[in-house]
Structure 1
């Protein structure tokens, strides 16, 4: 299994809207991809910005590529996400999952 890890930040005023976008649109869309095995959205509210850590699980690197394309280390964004995010991590990181629930 492969864990895809990525971080992005919003202004505090945009954090709820971004979380809603992830929960109601992005994650349900990912569930339609063969080999997608679920994900987590982590949120840390700060005074100046809110950090989101998104971890998606895929059964293989091929499933990651089906989602992200050949250049799979490049983050994938919905157009609305680009409006809500104030800054982004420019690379998605991938890890082989060795221990899980």
Structure 2
């Protein structure tokens, strides 16, 4: 799971951009089970963006992210949109 923040006025453009970059890359990586992009308007002109992905194994995550599984992967236009970003991702074990 990863979270960043964009200006609400840029939300739709960022969603379209990240669908073509990060989300497509998640889904194209062997071992990715699925991936979602969630948004939440914060009411102050900013929108929180969260990506959630499920993977078969830690090895599959490494195929996408590289050896540092908690280092976030960014794309060239991210700086144009993101006003805040987590540089680390969070991994959780699915229980049910």
Give the structure-2-normalised TM-score. Answer: 0.89
- Maintained 8 Å contact 2:6/2:46: yes
Number of residue pairs aligned between Structure 1 and Structure 2: 95
Structure with the larger strand share = 1
**What SS does the aligned partner of 2:92 have?**
strand
Matched, 1:94 2:91: yes
- Give the 4+ runs in structure 1 shifted more than 6 A: none
**Structure 1: tracts of 5 or more residues without a match:** none
**What SS does the aligned partner of 1:34 have?**
coil
Q: Matches of 1:98 and 1:58 in 2, distance apart?
A: 14
Structure with bigger RCO (C-alpha 8 Å, 6+ apart) = 1
- How far 1:41 sits from its partner (Å)? 1.1
- Maintained 8 Å contact 2:71/2:89: yes
Give the structure-1-normalised TM-score. Answer: 0.85
Q: Matches of 1:97 and 1:26 in 2, distance apart?
A: 22
**What SS does the aligned partner of 1:92 have?**
coil
RMSD: 1.3
